[in-house]
């Protein structure tokens, strides 16, 4: 498919070609002025005047080309414009008013291009209208001697009005076109800058995405190390203890094996969740259903009794994982350390907070509350999520863990 034609010029190239076009139009207009004068006045012996006209037009063309391509300072351009105005007056006095308004328009265009501010353009336009009117009146009077006063006034007023009107129209058109072109250039630059910024933002976004993925994988790896690794270490310790107690105390050995089995299941579940997160899959089960599954896995093949009162709460992914992991840790601690045989689990919405309560009938703590690795991790994570963890225990009275998390409720079923 052929691409459409596209004029791809920068601002300097555009101005250069425009000035070349104006110089060409000025030369053509001056040739027309000279040709008209030659055909009109040569028969009456105006050779000297013709030479003067040609010289004036040539000087005007040279001055205008130098002004357009060599002069950069505004003050110098004003000097050249003054000289050009004198030459235009001489041409007008010699030839009458042939193409005078066109010559003024061509000379003024270069100044309009060179000046960015509107006020200097307007002042130059007003001065040009005055100079044009003076040149027109003087030229008409010199060329048309002997014409009656009334006819002279009517002719001068009518023709000078037309000339001034043409210069006004030229000023408006030039101002509009140059303003439009300037805005177009600014828009193109803004679009180019926006494209560059977009490209930079895309690169930064990709870097941030890679960083976020890397940080998330590090966090998941830490979860595997802290949770599953800790659980597997506990399993090894419990099985080693069971081997030692197998002959001397079979009942304790059995409890150790049951606890190790529970801990192994928890470790396997934690590893599955981490693998799902690494694969980009979130848990599809609700929080209530997940807690019920944890309870079912815990009491399977054992004589544990667990009662629960659960509400359906919708929480964030991080809160979801934390509540499930905390429940597993508390169940494992109650069975392993507290020798608990019964648990009560409650999950409720209390004043826009998700509150998880876990209590057991274990032996409790006889030497006061000492947080181990698991309980300390639960407290720190709860505080990191903006919540709290309260642990109470007395000797012979079991242990109670209450976790409170603020959450943005998406859905709640009572």
pLDDT of residue 3: 46
C-beta separation of 80 from 65 below 8 A: no
Q: Is the pLDDT of residue 229 over 70?
A: no
Mean pLDDT, range 331-353, rounded to an integer? 87
Which residue is it, tokens 């004029």?
7
pLDDT of residue 191: 84
pLDDT of residue 241: 76
Euclidean distance between CA atoms 148 and 141, whole angstroms: 11
Decide: helix, strand or coil at residue 219: helix
Decide: helix, strand or coil at residue 145: coil
Residue 342 zone, left/alpha/beta (φ > 0; ψ -120 to 50; rest): beta
Q: Which of 50-64, 101-115, 256-270 has the highest mean pLDDT?
A: 50-64
Q: Is the pLDDT of residue 295 over 80?
A: yes
pLDDT of residue 331: 85
pLDDT of residue 371: 66
Q: Is the pLDDT of residue 411 over 60?
A: no
If one compares 282 and 240, the residue with the highest pLDDT of the two is 240
For the chain, what is the mean pLDDT? 78
Mean pLDDT, range 167-185, rounded to an integer? 80
Q: Is the pLDDT of residue 338 over 90?
A: no
Model confidence at 2, pLDDT cuts 50, 70, 90, reads: very low
Structure tokens at 181: 């072109």
pLDDT of residue 4: 43
- 343-398 confidence digits (pLDDT tens): 999 999 888 889 999 999 988 876 656 666 678 888 888 898 889 999 888 878 88
Q: Is the pLDDT of residue 226 over 80?
A: no
Task: Compute the Cα dihedral for 323, 329, 331, 333 and give only its sign.
Answer: negative
Q: Is the pLDDT of residue 6 over 60?
A: no
Model confidence at 5, pLDDT cuts 50, 70, 90, reads: very low
DSSP state of 238: H
Which residue is it, tokens 């209530």?
288
Decide: helix, strand or coil at residue 64: helix
Model confidence at 42, pLDDT cuts 50, 70, 90, reads: low
- 104-139 confidence digits (pLDDT tens): 888 888 777 877 777 888 888 888 888 888 888 888
- For helices 373-384 and 317-336, give the axis angle rounded to 10 degrees: 160
Query: Which among 204, 128, 218, 216 has a CA at the least distance from the CA of 164?
Result: 128
**First vs last Cα of the chain: how many Å apart?**
64
């Amino acid at each position: 498919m052929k691409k459409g034609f596209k004029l791809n010029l920068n601002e300097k190239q555009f101005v250069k070609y425009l000035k070349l076009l104006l110089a060409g139009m000025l030369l053509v207009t001056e040739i027309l002025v000279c040709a008209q004068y030659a055909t009109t006045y040569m028969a009456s012996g105006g050779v000297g005047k013709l030479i003067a006209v040609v010289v004036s037009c040539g000087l005007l063309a040279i001055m205008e080309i130098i002004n357009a391509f060599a002069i950069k300072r505004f003050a110098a351009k004003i000097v050249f414009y003054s000289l050009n105005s004198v030459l235009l007056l001489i041409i007008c006095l010699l030839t009458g008013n042939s193409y005078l308004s066109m010559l003024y328009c061509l000379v003024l265009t270069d100044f309009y291009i060179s000046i960015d501010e509107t006020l200097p353009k307007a002042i130059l336009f007003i001065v040009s209208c005055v100079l044009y009117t003076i040149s027109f009146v003087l030229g008409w009077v010199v060329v048309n001697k002997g014409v009656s006063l009334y006819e002279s006034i009517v002719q001068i007023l009518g023709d000078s009005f037309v000339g001034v009107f043409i210069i006004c129209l030229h000023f408006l058109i030039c101002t509009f076109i140059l303003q439009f072109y300037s805005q177009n250039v600014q828009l193109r630059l803004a679009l180019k800058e926006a494209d560059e910024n977009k490209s930079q933002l895309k690169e930064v976004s990709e870097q941030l995405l890679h960083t976020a993925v890397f940080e998330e994988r590090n966090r998941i790896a830490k979860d595997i190390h802290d949770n599953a690794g800790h659980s597997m270490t506990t399993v090894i310790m419990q099985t080693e203890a069971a081997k030692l107690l197998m002959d001397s105390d079979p009942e304790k050995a059995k409890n150790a094996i049951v606890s190790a089995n529970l801990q192994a299941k928890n470790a396997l579940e934690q590893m599955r969740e981490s693998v799902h997160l690494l694969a980009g899959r979130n848990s599809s089960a609700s929080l209530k259903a997940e807690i019920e599954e944890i309870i079912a896995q815990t009491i399977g093949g054992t004589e544990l009794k667990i009662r629960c009162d659960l509400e359906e709460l919708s929480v964030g992914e991080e809160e979801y994982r934390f509540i499930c992991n905390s429940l597993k840790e508390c169940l494992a601690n109650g069975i392993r350390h507290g020798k608990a045989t019964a648990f009560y689990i409650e999950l409720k919405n209390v004043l826009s907070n998700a509150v998880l309560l876990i209590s057991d009938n274990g032996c409790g703590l006889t030497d006061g509350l000492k947080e181990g690795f698991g309980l300390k991790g639960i407290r720190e994570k709860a505080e990191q999520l903006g919540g709290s963890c309260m642990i109470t225990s007395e000797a012979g009275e079991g242990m109670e863990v209450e976790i409170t998390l603020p959450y943005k409720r998406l859905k709640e079923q009572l």
